[in-house]
Structure 1
């Protein structure tokens, strides 16, 4: 199922007469192009087709959900895909990396660059070099966030979600929460749980969001992007055992940890109805477990 209309179930996690919490299972859309990646790619793929492009070029790290999703979607729709990957040192280890190996098996060509070059990836000179090397391509930004991605993410919220007081979602580049904000209903509050340190994402979100009914909860990043500790691992494993829902450790796991902690701290008013968005990202678990094994830490089950 690629870029068709989909009905996503809302699983009840908590309903104790004081607080109601449900999870919108965007991860269930597709096993590999799931959650917000499905939403972000939908209109970008359509635009690439209408523009007559034959190649998609995008950026990402070694375990990027976005890289895996673009490779899979590109294969499905007949595009050549190019992934500009952060870290030249990874080039000899791609086969040992489950995300990159998956992307390569789905036809993605890699271009490994230094971390310094990667920081300047949108500079005109760097983009010109990419054009000279790979020819004409359709550019999808890192993480997939642009106006078309936001348009796709607006479809996460539907009329059936009108009864919720709060909608919570993980935040990476800000595209998903922007779409949710734009599609939200009157009197709803949108809470974003960044996977990165700091409050800087507010500026990026404000570029796309057309309402002011939102805020970022910045206390649950666990040290920053891709950072994880044993408390979070235990929470994710216990959550799966209790509710039979797998959470990813980068985004949704941190958000649900935060929501449950805030409920315990009585952050939400009595009678609140909360909807949490599961944005997918489960393909990254195998790569995270490689890292945890090297660190001699408990694994995600």
Structure 2
């Protein structure tokens, strides 16, 4: 590869030329990011000042396109930001109509952005809503937890939530689809005793659904646990059409996790293991899966051996 041999004067001139190029680029970049640009970002919509006693359905997506005027710096940072921005929309005008015009709320929306950014427009400009009669329903609360236990500790009984039910209000067609309401996730590490906490309910994802109360008490009983192995006789269900059914093996081995306090309560009689002969009649399977139809709430099933069994039938 040829080597470019330059004398001292030439190297000095080349160095000055490169520096000029670099300084020119930096000056251009600084000038570019200092200019103002108009760009569009997708924003989630959060409704505020919702009219009382009026249940509504938004008739459009819960995101809008916001056109902003900002500097190149703001444009650069908005491109790097991974979190979708949220704008609040005032619904107080729905007392007398079923739409809101966002052009009329540009001042309110602009106050939600930094002074260096200016909202030019929002698309769609008009949001439409369908109103229906508001209804009320009580649904159970489901405690969501992710606990890291100390060695040989685990949940040993039913998790208690107080209150057990919350009241949800909203349009009938939406309310009837909600079977339960979850809490925020309860997180603790190195747990070796009962957990008692007050936790908020999971944030409402639907603006037309209200939940009361917004927080509950949760008690999670925790204790020392151990494994216990039991042999359970296996039964054949839906086998009346056969004169006899022989299962191989006739028993299954269950491995369960149980607290030390309840160890003696866990007996083979507390469990029921079955196979469903309809699986063979309808699907012509070669072996049948074992199904546990009964077990105590205070123990956790870890393993079934075997999980599938062979069988012989006599018609």
Q: TM-score range by the shorter chain?
A: under 0.3
TM-score of the aligned structures, taking structure 2 as reference length:
0.19
Structure with the bigger percentage of helix: 1
Which structure has the larger Rg?
A: 2
Q: Determine which structure has greater relative contact order: mean sequence separation of CA pairs < 8 Å that are 6+ residues apart, divided by chain length.
A: 1
TM-score of the aligned structures, taking structure 1 as reference length:
0.20
